[in-house]
Amino acid sequence: MTATKHHVTIKGVKDGLVFVLDDTCRLTDLLEELQHKLEKTHHKILSGPLIRVYVNLGKRVINEAEQEQIRELIGQHGNLIIQSFETSASPALPPEILPSGIKVITGIVRSGQTVTHEGNVMLLGDVNPGGSILSTGDIFVMGSLRGMAHAGTQGDEKAIIAASYMRPTQLRIAGIFSRPPDEWGIDEALMEFAYIQNARMEIDKIYHIQRIRPDLGKG
């Protein structure tokens, strides 16, 4: 008799819980099992103090609407607070957009942490509120940028900052700071990038990047 495969595994870690979600099944099956575990088999974890939740998606790539479905399911239980989503999927950027010699790192930059790098850097993961990522070159975040990012730290005003989900607490390129978030005009769940134009930071969709940086992808 074949044992039933679990699509959702909940593990305890030092600072909360990790929800490991199967990346081979249908998302609808995954959501059904997640709801069942939260309401039936694991309901005891919902009655205690606030718990941080880290969602591990494996190699699954989800869009913003699907991420919101998971957030709603977990978030309807008041003491579970989602800190981040992690995926090991390959970057969804076409190679012509990426600068040459880019350093790829994985993980989550959590509150109180700072990641620094010489040159261009790509983070496969999220930058949480209170976390910072700094680079002398360009910064690409293949995840949610909810903390602070500073590109061109040595004065390079041609540097850019790109993120799959751009909701930072602050952006900085060289010595120029971003405008307040409510002035950015971000209203879509599309990858965007920040750049300097006429001594002012601007935000645009990623597919316009080569208008600003025609050098990208030329090695």
Residue 195 belongs to a domain with what CATH number?
Answer: 2.160.20.70
The candidate with the shortest Cα–Cα distance to 176, out of 148, 203, 195, 204, is: 195
The candidate with the shortest Cα–Cα distance to 91, out of 141, 23, 131, is: 141
The pLDDT tens digits for 22-33 are 888 888 898 999
Note whether residue 3 is domain-resident: no
User: Under a CB-based contact definition with an 8 Å cutoff, are residues 192 and 179 in contact?
Assistant: no
Choose the weakest-confidence range: 31-40, 58-67, 93-102.
93-102
Same domain, residue pair 80 and 140: no
| Per-residue pLDDT at 173 | 96
Note whether residue 171 is domain-resident: yes
Q: What is the CATH number of the domain that holds 41?
A: 3.30.160
User: Under a CB-based contact definition with an 8 Å cutoff, are residues 63 and 27 in contact?
Assistant: no
> Which residue, of 86, 115, 147, is where some domain finishes?
86
Same domain, residue pair 42 and 75: yes
Query: With a threshold of 0.75, does the pTM exceed it?
Result: no
Count of the separate structural domains present in the chain? 2
CA atoms within 13 A on the CB side of 12: 2
Q: Calculate the average pLDDT of the chain.
A: 81
* Alpha carbons 178 and 195: distance in angstroms, whole number: 10
Averaged pLDDT for residues 166-184: 80
- CA–CA distance from 72 to each of 3, 29, 31, 50 (Å)? 30, 16, 11, 16
| Per-residue pLDDT at 219 | 46
> Which residue, of 55, 86, 117, is where some domain finishes?
86
> Which residue, of 37, 59, 86, is where some domain finishes?
86
pLDDT band at 135 (very low <50, low <70, confident <90, very high): very high
| Per-residue pLDDT at 136 | 94
Q: What percent of the chain clears pLDDT 70, i.e. is strictly above it?
A: 79
